[in-house]
């Protein structure tokens, strides 16, 4: 397991998301859903669009290109036209910092 620090907890308030660019990770977006942190691929599985340019609604991320949605908890598609899941990544919060387990 390789943990990669992506941000501080205070930098990502509830209801917000942050696209991460790191040489140690694929394109990832981190979400704060009511104090719980989640991470998914930042690339929509339906069409190449950056999910971090979309809209976080509760625990659903809406793709900015066609309006399809995914659960940030599971990566599963929740609204058409998205039908293929996106990758999710384990997240750990330690000492006020958010880490992603690099694949």
Query: DSSP string of 32-85?
Result: EETTEEEEEESB-SSSS-BGGGSEEETTEEE-TTT--EEETTT--EEETT--SP
Query: Which CATH number is 2-102 given?
Result: 2.102.10.10
Model pTM score: 0.94
Q: Is the pLDDT of residue 57 over 80?
A: yes
What's the DSSP call for residue 1?
-
pLDDT digits (tens, 9 = 90+) for 10-27: 999 999 999 999 898 899
24 or 39, which is more confident? 39
Range with the poorest average pLDDT among 1-5, 12-16, 26-30, 82-86: 1-5
Domain boundary assignment for the chain: 2-102
């Amino acid at each position: 397991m390789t943990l990669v620090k992506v941000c501080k907890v205070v930098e990502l308030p509830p209801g917000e998301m942050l696209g991460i660019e790191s040489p140690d990770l694929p394109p990832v977006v981190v979400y704060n859903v009511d104090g719980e942190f989640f991470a998914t691929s930042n690339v929509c599985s339906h069409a190449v669009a950056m999910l971090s340019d979309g809209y976080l609604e509760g625990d659903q991320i809406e793709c900015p290109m066609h309006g399809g949605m995914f659960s940030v908890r599971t990566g599963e598609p929740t609204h058409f036209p998205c039908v293929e899941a996106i990758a999710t990544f384990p997240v750990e919060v330690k000492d006020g910092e958010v880490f992603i387990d690099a694949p």
